[in-house]
Chains A and B, each alone.
Chain A
């Protein structure tokens, strides 16, 4: 079965501090992993995906197959980063749907 675990419901940091949002997955195939973000009163939107290896809004995420992790990082948090962040897995070999983690609320305090 495919499963995505985000252990923290809430992460609160000060502006300028580093951020790491944890994501672990369980999947027997080759995973396609994503981070989606939902700002207050807005729709879910793609933040980044592991296959593109790009940095969006200063965020990066590296797929670590040994640790089955895809943690989201940013060296210096900004207040506008406050949002709900969802890690998601696309089980390419076993269907056509995104499987979401429970989400982590990031609060950046001034």
Chain B
């Protein structure tokens, strides 16, 4: 069964460093998402992406964040200058169609900012 894959599973970085989290969505899916979960808190929406552009983003997704689909398979989340409060589990998800189509999640990338 096809799955969403994410790399790395865990990344430790110093404050101020750039981080890129990678996701390979399910191949025939058209909608892509990033969510994050700070330890002990709820899963929060960051951004949705469709047709090579951001379709919606949350207040969390400020200028430090960017997303790209550089090659038609990978979907990346970049944090330009990490802050301590960026430490979280980041989940990628993909969806075949919009609306009520099921979101398929990756296993997450844990980011620790020191």
Residues in A lying within 8 Å of B, measured CB to CB = 32, 42-46, 49, 51, 86, 90, 92, 95-103
Contacts and interface: CB of A to CB of B under 8 A. Distances in A.
Majority SS of interface residues in chain B? strand
B48 A96 contact: yes
Interface of B: 3-4, 31, 33, 35, 41-45, 48, 50, 55-56, 91, 93, 98-100, 102-103, 105-108
Contact of B42 (A44, A46, A95, A103): A103
Majority SS of interface residues in chain A? loop
Nearest to A9: B40
Contacts, number: 52
Contact of B107 (A42, A92, A103): A42
Contacts of A46: 102-103
Contacts of A42: 107
A101 B41 CA distance: 10
B105 A86 contact: no
Contacts of B48: 95-97
Nearest to A4: B42
A97 B100 contact: no
B100 A43 contact: no
Nearest to A33: B100
